[in-house]
Amino acid sequence: MRNKIDKLSEQGSYRNSRTVDIGGIPYSMRDILITAPLTSGLNVYLVGATGEGKTQLANDLAGYFGDSYCYNEGRPDFEPSEILKQLNLGNIGKVASTRDLVELTENVRKNLYYVDELNRCPPIVMNYFFNFFDGKLVHNGEVFRLGKNDYVVGYASGNIGDGAYVGISDTDRALKDRMHIIIKLDDPDYITTEEDDVHIFGSKKDPRATLPDKSKDSLDDILVLHQAFKDRELPSILPVLGVYFHKGLDYLENTRRHSKRAIDQLWPNVNEIRQDTDESKIMPLSKRAVLASIGLSQALEIIAEERGYENIDTTSMFLDALRFTVPYSGVLAKQYIHSEKDGDVYAAFDDVMQAIRRDINDKKKEIETA
């Protein structure tokens, strides 16, 4: 599988050779943005300033999936029926009602769905994408699975910023939860390197993104990697860590019911909440967020193993993978981000994780034997 992994991680016009350490192992940004999500089948939300490669990355994905790629624009008037349903006028007079004229299009069998400028849709339109990014469609009271070969994945892009862009809306937390992985491409930790920039600025004079190249169709390779991911045995420590982040982070020492979820309407603005711990800084992760983090960490382990790495620290890999699923998911307290970290979301997350890492490392032997 090594050649399939390297093919996804290296070919394409999107260039970002920045290296990120995850679980003590170096990964390229293409590993994180493309190879690991496609291997695990996790959705990805690419956010950040304009002109940082989101469109080029989308075009590379279109090339990988060939005819099994479905592109959508985030617009105020968007409806999923535009791409997933059609009228069969040939059945006029043959059906009992006009409702029966509506049929599903071939787009329901695509393996990759991409939404450009997702947050240019107003909140009510974004709601249409809940099922979309869950990989399903409701039609005539029935639930249909999107994709084929038991594989479907979604990508989306969006510009974020307090008033920096006209016509955008904040993305609902429930929709963010369904996006699984959210990465700010222009963050200093993830932006292209200076060498990348020299190559990009010197290789073309046209600022437009290079169009999709269907000759790079890699769907069969992606399906092989995804099957290996599904067949992989789950390390026993990961479910235990999942309980820590789903239930352990919910605990409050001094409130009546000792639960953040119990006071979520007022959290963190409650007098009894401690300010010196995670109590006022982060909500517990949803089950979906925990599963996404487990999936990402396991896909990254597959990549590392195929490249010859041994004795991988599963706990460290999982904790580091959280940096791609948690910071922009909506679980961090906004006032903590703005008042204590000057709006730096990743710095806020890193600060919270320091104490969590210490707690987990202190209990690691106990967790491993649980």
Asked whether residue 217 falls in the same domain as residue 255, the answer is: no
Tell whether 227 and 264 lie within a shared domain.
no
Same domain for 198 and 62:
yes
Q: Identify the domain boundary among 231, 257, 282.
A: 231
**DSSP letters of 266-280?**
TTT--TTS-SSSGGG
Between CA 314 and CA 311 the distance in angstroms is 9
What pLDDT shows up at residue 75? 81
Q: Are residues 10 and 120 in the same domain?
A: yes
Distances from the Cα of 216 to the Cαs of 5, 35, 59, 66, 369, in angstroms? Answer: 14, 14, 11, 8, 46
Mean pLDDT, consecutive 10-residue stretches, the chain (370 aa), reads: 90 91 97 97 92 89 92 80 56 42 72 90 81 83 87 90 54 87 96 93 83 83 97 96 97 97 96 95 98 99 97 97 97 95 97 94 74
pLDDT of residue 127: 80
Shared domain check, 334 and 278: yes
| Same domain for 359 and 216 | no
Task: Using alpha carbons, select from 268, 271, 270 the residue that is nearest to residue 249.
Answer: 268
3-state SS assignment for residue 46: strand
Instruction: Kindly give, in sequence order, each residue whose CB lies less than 8 Å from that of residue 174, ignoring residues fewer than 6 positions away.
Output: 130
Domain count, the chain: 2
Q: In this structure, are strands 142-145 and 136-139 parallel, antiparallel, or unpaired?
A: antiparallel
Sequence-distant contacts of 256-261: CB under 8 A, at least 24 apart:
260/284
Measured distance CA(42)–CA(293) in Å, rounded: 10
181 plus 268 within the same structural domain: no
pLDDT at residue 98, rounded to an integer: 40
For residues 1 and 353, what is the distance between their CA atoms, to the nearest angstrom? 34
What is the model's pLDDT at position 168?
61
Residue 55 vs residues 13, 49, 73, 338: alpha-carbon distances, Å: 11, 12, 12, 29
209 and 66 in a single domain? The answer is: yes
* Domain range enclosing 15: 2-231
pTM for this model (two decimals) = 0.90
**C-alpha triplet 37, 39, 43: angle, nearest 5°:** 30
Domain boundary (189, 213, 231) is at: 231
- DSSP calls for 191-204: SPPHHHHHHHHHH-
> How many residues are recorded in the chain?
370
Residue type, 57: L
Closest CA to 225 of 300, 159, 164: 300
At residue 325, the 3 state secondary structure works out as coil
Residue finishing a domain among 231, 263, 297:
231
Show the tokens assigned to 285: 């992760």
